[in-house]
Amino acid sequence: MKLIKNIYSGFLSIFNYPYISKDLLENLKGPIILHISDTPVDIYAYIFRIIDILKPKFIIHTGDLADNIKLEYHRDKIVEYQKEVAKLIEGLEKNEEAKVFYVLGNHDEYETVSKLTKRGTILEEGLINIENYNLIVGHYYMEHSDKVDFCLYGHSFSPSHFQNKDTIGLNGVLNINIIDLSCRAIYHLDYPIGTNRSRMMELRRITL
Please tell me the least confidently modeled range out of 77-91, 134-148, 184-198: 134-148
Q: CA–CA separation, 207 vs 62, rounded Å?
A: 23
Residue 87 or 125, more confident: 87
Please tell me the least confidently modeled range out of 11-15, 41-45, 78-82: 11-15
Strand 133-138 relative to strand 125-130: parallel, antiparallel, unpaired? antiparallel
Q: With a cut of 90, say whether residue 41 has pLDDT above it.
A: yes
**4: pLDDT confidence band, cut at 50, 70 and 90?**
very low
Q: CA–CA separation, 154 vs 46, rounded Å?
A: 18
In the DSSP assignment, the letter for residue 136 is E
What's the confidence (pLDDT) of residue 16?
63
Strand boundaries in 14-138, DSSP class E: 32-36, 58-61, 99-103, 121-123, 125-130, 133-138
Mean pLDDT, residues 101-113 taken together: 97
Task: List the 32-36 sheet strands across, edge first.
Answer: 121-123, 99-103, 58-61, 32-36, 176-180, 185-189
- In the chain, the number of structural domains is 1
CATH of the domain at 107: 3.60.21.10
Q: With a cut of 60, say whether residue 14 has pLDDT above it.
A: no
Question: What are the contacts of 168-174 at 24+ separation with CB within 8 A?
Answer: 169/141, 170/35, 171/37, 171/141, 172/35, 172/36, 172/37, 172/38, 172/61, 172/62, 173/37, 173/38, 173/199, 173/201
Mean pLDDT, residues 97-103 taken together: 97
Q: What is the pLDDT of residues 78-94, one digit of tens each?
A: 999 999 999 999 999 99
Do 97 and 57 touch, CB atoms closer than 8 A? yes
Q: With a cut of 70, say whether residue 11 has pLDDT above it.
A: no
Q: With a cut of 80, say whether residue 49 has pLDDT above it.
A: yes
Q: CA–CA separation, 196 vs 5, rounded Å?
A: 21
Please tell me the least confidently modeled range out of 11-15, 45-49, 84-88, 193-197: 11-15
Residue 18 exposure: Cα atoms within 13 Å on the Cβ side: 24
Q: CA–CA separation, 125 vs 203, rounded Å?
A: 27
What's the confidence (pLDDT) of residue 146?
73
Q: Which domain holds residue 55?
A: 2-207
Q: With a cut of 80, say whether residue 179 has pLDDT above it.
A: yes
Residue 72 or 103, more confident: 103
pTM: 0.89
Q: With a cut of 80, say whether residue 155 has pLDDT above it.
A: yes
